[in-house]
Amino acid sequence: MEAMIKIHFLGTGAGAPTASRWASSLLISIGSSNYLFDCGEGCQLRLSSLGISPLKITSIFITHGHGDHVLGVPPLVESMSHHGRKSPLYIVAPNIIANMIEEVIRITSRGVGFEILYKSPEEGYGDSNIDVKGFRTCHSSESWGYRVEIKKRKLAICYSGDTGPCKTIAEECYGAYILIHEATFTLENAADAKESMHSTAYDAAKLAQAVNVKYLYLTHISSRYKDQWTILKEARSVFSNVRVAEDLMVTYII
């Protein structure tokens, strides 16, 4: 029997967290293996609410160094140590983020009782469940997206991280089953999107249409949008199989 695949949207906000949308974080579960993509503030509280122990995180993938994507990593690592983790933890991230994590551990604790193995997004990561490849995206700092190939199901999940419209995403995410793409803004705020190197819902939908994905999930939603309907309507004017992710939403691939 094939393992159940679940995508947990832990945090779907952009920038500072709000009561309804926490900082960016996404968990892909394949059977008993859990893979964390970005780890903003409050991530381990979201994991706790789902009953997922820090010890059950196989690896962490970070897209870039902005705080809403990475500041949850050091406290999560410390909790892993408090819970007695012994198995190695893989962290796939740009070098500057690896340096930050190690410095925070040095300053705030006496070290951890397990090995942290750092890999660059270019190196990627693989195990019996998945092969993950990083690719550069178009943001205001060094930023990466990830294509996750589910080995036994022969399907791919693509996660954009933070980015404006970007040719490399079109190249690397072609034919994915699910594209999880940021939609910080709508067309009404297209100038803000361009200036900050983010995407509109329309941008993400145009990409999904062009690269022939099956489903599009929109995340990293600005707090200025109080409901999802404007975002959803804009995206569906281009691409029909789209959902606006909400915190603690779960998608099952069966």
Tell me the two tokens of residue 215. Answer: 């489903």
Given the DSSP bridges, would you call strands 178-182 and 215-219 parallel, antiparallel or unpaired?
A: parallel
Q: How many CB atoms lie within 10 A of CB 41?
A: 21
Choosing from 68, 162, 203, 247, the catalytic residue is 68
Distance CA 166, CA 29 (A): 28
Closest CA to 231 of 199, 191, 195, 196: 199
Q: Answer for the pair 40, 23: CB distance below 8 angstroms, yes or no.
A: yes
Q: Answer for the pair 251, 5: CB distance below 8 angstroms, yes or no.
A: no
Q: Answer for the pair 178, 212: CB distance below 8 angstroms, yes or no.
A: no
The single-letter code of the amino acid at 5 is: I
Judged by DSSP in three states, 243 sits in: strand
Distance CA 53, CA 100 (A): 24
Active site residue 68: yes
Residues annotated as catalytic (active site), given as ranges = 68
